[in-house]
Amino acid sequence: MSTWRPITPPPFWQRWLPNWLHGLVRLLFQLSIIGVIILSVIIFFYFMLAMKFNLDEVAKLPSGTTFYDRKGIEITAPGGQGHQLVTRNDLPKFLVDSLRAREDARFFEHHGIDVRGLLRATVRNIKDRDFTQGASTLSMQLARNSFKMKQKSLHRKLLEIALTLRVESRYTKDEILTLYLNRIYFGAGADGIAQAARIYFGKSTRDLSDGECAMIVGIIRGPHVFSPFRNLSAAIEQRNQTLTRLVTMGIINKARRDNIAKEPVRLVTEDQRETQTSYALQAVRRELDSILEDDDIQLGGLSVRTSLDASWQNRLENELTRAVEDLEHEKSWTHPTEANHVSGTEPMYLQYAAVTTDIRTGETLALIGGRNYSDSRFDRTRSSRDLGSAFEPFVAAAAAERGKLVLPGKPVQTGRQIGPAEVERLAKRCGIAGPFLPTEDLFRGSVAATPQEMSVGLATLGNQGKRAKPHLIREIRDATDEVIYVTKPQLSAALSPAAALDATSVLQPFAGTRCFTGSTGSERDAWTLRLGPNGATAIWLGFDKPTVIAPEARLKALLVEFVQRLGNQ
């Protein structure tokens, strides 16, 4: 007995495909099922991983950069400002449009991930065999910066996507936009858009002009490279690119773009910048900006361990102020507090500048760029002034390097043994840039140098002829206390140890140190060179507009008294 069953017709796709393709289709179907399962597992894994992050951190903005001296003491100065914030209402429409044009055109349309942009970037990365394209939306950038995700990898990108979706579900578009602009770094010490508007243009965010909005947005992609303080032409080019993108998107027309591009750029002068609260911090900030890559500095909340010795700097500054005030009482010059009523002019009173350099490492232990930072932010440690007799140690060093006699107190006779060219060559190797006179007047000190150069040069003589590259920053840590930068001393041979030792013979021994005090023949610049067991200090005294200070004998007595009060530290 047989059981009859109707033959089940083959599936529709089998009837339309050749037999030899049936196996391949089944394989592809099975692989797709496996792919869906794997994809589901990956999505579940990164969803669970993203759930471990506290989204409250997105709204907790990092503090500004904190600076410490070499002993871990926080460096503070009057006039410092914390991380300033803006609200959504503070943001001009043109600023928001500019940000969309440069960073995320579909910001208000997508849900955190721009799929089209992501696919385009993925194809490019596969082609380049590297992570050259990121396709990061503003939401993705906010998630990445909030949780310090710096590494470029597939794992990081997938986690970033999962976190971005959570951020989008937690915060509104306006909140994301405001948090993003409050968090990112804009260069020149500006943490967030509020500080950027103040530092670059001296105004509140809501008062920015259209051109200023476009320029600030252009800075985002390279806070160091495109800062108008460092490279105005590059900043203007970024502004113009932003304006062109706005035309492409149909937000403005070409005529308006051209009118905005014609706006004059009115930047805040260096003397007026709000983040600089002392000469030393001003110098540290310059060095910080030159060290860090853009991705690092955007993290915010940095801790910078400097080489400064706060106690020595305070002592040096206090004794300099005391010495200068003693001289002012004798001469009845205008006191600083009486000179500030003239708007737009530098106060005219006796100034000083000083730099102490660690002999062995090149670390800057103290930096004093002037007498009163609130009156004048001009850093005199970088200003060249006539040296006069203070150049004698380097004349002696050049002679000793060539095996000639060093005649203390007789720089002309010492220099004549080798000639101006050899003195110039040696001085440059010690860090003094010049220009130099090619005559015997060079031996008499007819050359200018900055206090910074003189301190480095003196340190070279004290370090057996080895010149160390000067620096102010020892170590940088991010907000998670991870070390992201450490400075290593860089030494180069400038002259022989014997020549360096002979050169210091022109310095007068005093309580464990060697010192040299002198002035120019015009009595308009006075110098003190102080070589201690650990540090080399160069001090300049004078007026910003060269003026006779006091008779040479009185200046020398004043500086000797000053050195005595400093002691042997």
Alpha helices, DSSP H, located in 52-92? 56-59
How far apart (Å, rounded) are the C-alpha atoms in residues 569 and 566?
A: 7
Nearest Cα to 388, choosing from 221, 517, 277, 244? 517
> N- to C-terminal Cα distance for the chain?
117
Name residues whose C-beta falls within 8 Å of residue 499's C-beta, 6 or more positions apart in sequence. 397, 400, 401, 465
Contacts of 307 (CB under 8 A, 6+ apart): 70, 358, 361, 363, 364, 365, 471, 472, 473, 474
Identify the residue whose tokens are 């495909």: 17
* Tens-digit pLDDT profile for residues 57-114: 888 876 778 899 999 999 865 444 556 789 999 999 999 999 999 999 999 998 888 8
Name residue 457's amino acid: G
**Is the Cβ–Cβ distance between 216 and 206 less than 8 Å?**
no
- Per-residue pLDDT for 336 more than 50? no
Contact yes or no for 415/395 (Cβ under 8 A): yes
Contact between 273 and 253 (Cβ < 8 Å): no
**256: CB partners within 8 A, 6+ apart:** none
**pLDDT for 48-57, tens place per residue?**
888 888 888 8
Determine the pLDDT at residue 6. Answer: 66
pLDDT tens for each residue of 237-273: 999 999 999 999 999 999 999 999 999 999 988 766 6
What is the radius of gyration, based on Cα positions, of the chain? 32
For residues 495 and 268, what is the distance between their CA atoms, to the nearest angstrom? 43
Q: Say what the pLDDT of residue 151 is.
A: 65
Q: Edge to edge, what strands does the sheet with 473-477 contain?
A: 66-68, 303-306, 473-477, 483-486
**In angstroms, rounded to a whole number, what is the distance separating the alpha carbons of residues 369 and 373?**
8
Torsion sign, CA atoms 269, 275, 277, 283: negative
**Alpha-helical regions (H) of 344-403:** 392-401
Write down the pLDDT at residue 101: 94
Higher local confidence (pLDDT), 521 or 395: 395
DSSP-based three-state secondary structure for 506:
helix
Instruction: Using the predicted structure, report yes or no on whether residue 200 has a pLDDT greater than 50.
Output: yes
The pLDDT-based confidence of 128 (bands split at 50, 70, 90) is low
Report the C-alpha gap between 277 and 66 in whole angstroms. Answer: 13
C-alpha span between 370 and 383 (Å, rounded): 11
* Weakest mean pLDDT among 42-46, 284-288, 312-316, 404-408: 42-46
Tell me the whole-structure pTM to 2 decimals: 0.76
Task: Output b/e per residue, 284-323; b: 16+ Cβ within 10 A.
Answer: bbbbbbebbeeebbbbbbbbbbbbbbbebbebbbebbeeb
Work out the pLDDT band at 389, boundaries 50, 70, 90. Answer: very high
- Which two tokens mark 89? 């209402």
Say what the pLDDT of residue 154 is. 80
Percent of the chain with pLDDT over 70: 85
pLDDT band at 26 (very low <50, low <70, confident <90, very high): confident
Over the chain, what is the mean pLDDT?
A: 86
User: In whole angstroms, how far apart are CA 341 and each of 140, 344, 348, 428?
Assistant: 51, 9, 11, 42
- The pair of structure tokens assigned to 154 is 């597939």
Most confident segment among 141-155, 270-284, 390-404: 390-404
**Contact assessment for residue 538 and residue 529, using Cβ atoms and an 8 Å cutoff:** yes
The answer to whether 75 and 69 have CB atoms below 8 angstroms apart is yes
| pLDDT, position 337 | 43
Residue 341 three-state SS: coil
The CA-atom distances, in angstroms, between 180 and each of 86, 103, 117, 139, 242 are: 11, 12, 20, 8, 18
Work out the average pLDDT over 138-156: 82
Query: At 302, is the pLDDT very low, low, confident or very high (cuts 50, 70, 90)?
Result: confident
Task: List, in order of start, the domains of the chain with CATH numbers.
Answer: 83-275 (1.10.3810.10), 313-334+348-566 (3.40.710.10)
Q: Is 544 left (phi over 0), alpha (psi -120 to 50) or beta?
A: alpha
